[in-house]
Structure 1
Amino acid sequence: MPVPSAPAAPSSAERGRVWASLFVVWVLWSTSYLALGHLVTLLPPLLAVALRNALAAVALIGVAVLCRQPAPGRRQLLRPALVGLLLVGLGESLLSLGLQTASPGRSAVLYAAVPILTSVLLACSGQRLNRGQTAGAVLGVCGVALLNLDLLRPGQAGGPRGEGLVLASAVCAALAAVLATRAGRSPHRMPESALWAAGVQLLVGASVAGLGGLVRGEVWPGWPPLQAWAALAWLSLVLSAGGYAAYNHLQRVSGPLVAASYAYVNPPVALALAWLLTGEALDARELAAVAIVLAGVLTTVLAGRVNRP
């Protein structure tokens, strides 16, 4: 019998695509907090979320049609619609509202708790966590508490804080991740085409955010300034459509561990960008909290690999 040959080493072109995808999810995704924080000063927050994700949905579905990817059936629309409701309709809307008062750097650190919250929610639904996941969850909770220690000081009351809205957004994102993970082989599983699944999610989320903006009485301010259109184009076409494509490429080629690495790379990059561009700085306590949160996220992501078949 012929001896089976060793797997071919990835070509230089494939390695280039992997590094390009990593640059998108590591660096470009880190700018989303700054861009969104700037956008909500120019446009109504929920209507901006609706327009951003509607544009991204049209782009993704258009690419799926051009690539002749199979459209999902009616039964396969329920799951991505629910995920889009949680992730975009509620999650991104709460994040936009929170960024009206919360700083982009702190928001990036708080949102990094999504893998930790996902592990906690999976444990609440009956899935057993290994020691690494439990340790990561404990570290993450301690780091988030330390980062927001100033909220417990006297005189900090008086309405919901932006950090609380960002944390609520992270909870919605974790619920969406659990819902997508538990799809299984049910009749309502996610569509086979990742582009169609993302397009449906973004379209449903955009509809919910737009409805929320109308309920809040948000009014579109005529013809927005050029800065608003630039931020919308960056958020919808580069970060949503392009970032999603890069993330799925990493999942398919490099595995989920590499793809999930954005969760602990984005916060320090976002903090560095916020310091360079807006002068946002952290004191010693906040820097220690950031380190604890990142350690918890890294521990959670690495420990999650143990439970995979």
Structure 2
Amino acid sequence: MALVSLSDDKFRLENSGEAELSKVTPQRTKLVLNLISVYILWGSTYLFMHFMTERMPPLYMAGCRLLTAGLILYPFARFTGHARPNKQEWLAAGLIGILLLSVANGGMTVAVHYIPTGVAALLAGMLPLFIVILNWLTFSKVRPTKLVMAGLAVGLVGIALLVKPGGFRTTTTESWVGIGLIMVCNLAWATGTLLSGRMKLPTQMVSIAVQMLVGGGLLLLVSLVVEPVTLTSIGQAPTKAIGALIYLIIFGSLIGFSSFSWLARNAPPQILSTYAYVNPVVAMLLGWAFAGEALTGQSLVSALIILAGVVLISFGKRRG
């Protein structure tokens, strides 16, 4: 009997191990696929924002993109059983949507008119710097570690080298407008990110949908006031702009945000943060390959310095 019992236990143990392995492998595959999605899709959005707004007003197109994505995602979320948000949740998600999408995403859509898409992505990759400083000064009041401070210093050196004449081109007034806009975008995204953990929000999918509805709706309203457009101006958009708009709705907003949301819930923070290093590289290569943007030696060196600063910040935060 003992031999039979031992054999049965071994059989159960082997089956249990195989079951666990079968669970781990799909999870790991899902992790890799979602990482690739965020790496490639979010890295490509800078180029497609440029294509979308070459001949169309940027705020109008950004508003159409986000509002359409929200109108698709919200009914889907409700149909799949997610609860309707209450008034407090609508207000909280709406505020986050204004910061992340109306200000940050809308501002980035305008900024790519003034600077190359690769440079825009590289400057947007400095978001960890803004989160660390803002959290230190206003939210947690916790002083960053020495490694984080070193990363901040390295990142600032990289930015200084990038915007120095000859970095990506002679820094004109238009270039500074683009750089300033991205700094505002980073500040808005950092604020929205830090507030997200301190506010009562609906379920993840509903929250994203509400953010898109409010953020995109506000962008469209502002566009109707400040840009020469009407609600039907989308009918005048060239085929290239419509194609880029559809790409950004499907791959940038719906799939990209879904992948990021899954990673935020299931991946370690140090893995999730790697998108900040990869997106600028993808954007710079795509801008060089498809938009004729130059890659100078100085811009490449500054890119490496900025990314090194972001890496130091991430390692410093993990150790702290």
Q: TM-score, normalised by structure 1?
A: 0.88
Check if 1:132 corresponds to 2:147: yes
Alpha-carbon deviation of 1:157?
4.1
Corresponding residue number in structure 1 for 2:51: 38
Q: Percent identity?
A: 27
Corresponding residue number in structure 1 for 2:271: 258
Q: 1:218 aligns with which of 216, 223, 228?
A: 228
Corresponding residue number in structure 1 for 2:204: 194
Q: 1:8 aligns with which of 12, 15, 20?
A: 20
Alpha-carbon deviation of 1:255?
2.2
Corresponding residue number in structure 2 for 1:270: 283
Q: 1:291 aligns with which of 304, 307, 319?
A: 304
Structure 1 distance, partners of 2:245, 2:50, is 12
Q: 1:173 aligns with which of 168, 189, 194?
A: 189
Check if 1:239 corresponds to 2:255: no
Cα distance change of structure 1 residues 305 and 78 upon mapping to structure 2, 3 Å threshold = farther
Cα distance change of structure 1 residues 34 and 133 upon mapping to structure 2, 3 Å threshold = same
Contact 1:53-1:236 at 8 Å conserved across structures: yes
Q: Secondary structure of the residue that 2:61 maps to in structure 1?
A: helix
> In the TM superposition, what whole-angstrom CA distance separates every residue of 1:174-217 from its partner, at most 9, and x where no partner exists?
12112213x1xxxx4222x1011111111111122112212213
Structure 2 distance, partners of 1:15, 1:59, is 29
Contact 1:59-1:237 at 8 Å conserved across structures: no
Contact 2:63-2:220 at 8 Å conserved across structures: yes
Contact 2:74-2:206 at 8 Å conserved across structures: yes
Structure 1 residues 91-130: aligned runs within 5 Å: 91-125=104-138, 126-130=141-145
Q: Number of residue pairs matched?
A: 299
The code of the aligned residue for 2:208 comes to A
Structure 2 distance, partners of 1:208, 1:102, is 25
The code of the aligned residue for 2:185 comes to S
Task: Indicate the structure with greater helix content.
Answer: 2
Structure 1 distance, partners of 2:244, 2:160, is 32
Alpha-carbon deviation of 1:60?
2.1
Alpha-carbon deviation of 1:34?
0.3
Structure 1 distance, partners of 2:214, 2:151, is 32
The code of the aligned residue for 2:301 comes to A
Contact 1:50-1:210 at 8 Å conserved across structures: yes
Contact 1:117-1:137 at 8 Å conserved across structures: no
Which has more radius of gyration? 2
Structure 1 distance, partners of 2:91, 2:66, is 18
Between stretches 5-14 and 57-66, larger displacement belongs to 5-14
Structure 1 residues 14-25: aligned runs within 5 Å: 14-25=27-38
Aligned CA RMSD, in angstroms, stands at 2.5
> In the TM superposition, what whole-angstrom CA distance separates every residue of 1:82-107 from its partner, at most 9, and x where no partner exists?
11111111112211111112110111
Alpha-carbon deviation of 1:142?
1.7
Q: 1:209 aligns with which of 208, 214, 219?
A: 219
Contact 1:140-1:297 at 8 Å conserved across structures: yes
The code of the aligned residue for 2:20 comes to A
Structure 2 distance, partners of 1:257, 1:79, is 27
Cα distance change of structure 1 residues 19 and 290 upon mapping to structure 2, 3 Å threshold = same
Structure 2 distance, partners of 1:294, 1:15, is 26
Q: 1:141 aligns with which of 136, 147, 156?
A: 156
- Structure 1: 5+ residue runs without aligned partners? none
Structure 2 distance, partners of 1:278, 1:156, is 20
Q: Secondary structure of the residue that 1:150 maps to in structure 2?
A: coil
Alpha-carbon deviation of 1:236?
1.3
Cα distance change of structure 1 residues 160 and 214 upon mapping to structure 2, 3 Å threshold = farther
Alpha-carbon deviation of 1:26?
0.7
Q: Secondary structure of the residue that 1:128 maps to in structure 2?
A: coil
The code of the aligned residue for 1:300 comes to I
Alpha-carbon deviation of 1:225?
2.4
The code of the aligned residue for 2:209 comes to G
Between stretches 56-65 and 114-123, larger displacement belongs to 56-65
> In the TM superposition, what whole-angstrom CA distance separates every residue of 1:101-157 from its partner, at most 9, and x where no partner exists?
211011110100111111111111123212222222222222112111129999834
Between stretches 157-166 and 120-129, larger displacement belongs to 157-166
Cα distance change of structure 1 residues 67 and 158 upon mapping to structure 2, 3 Å threshold = closer
The code of the aligned residue for 1:131 comes to K
Contact 2:163-2:171 at 8 Å conserved across structures: no
Between stretches 107-116 and 248-257, larger displacement belongs to 248-257
- Structure 2: 5+ residue runs without aligned partners? 1-8
The code of the aligned residue for 1:123 comes to W
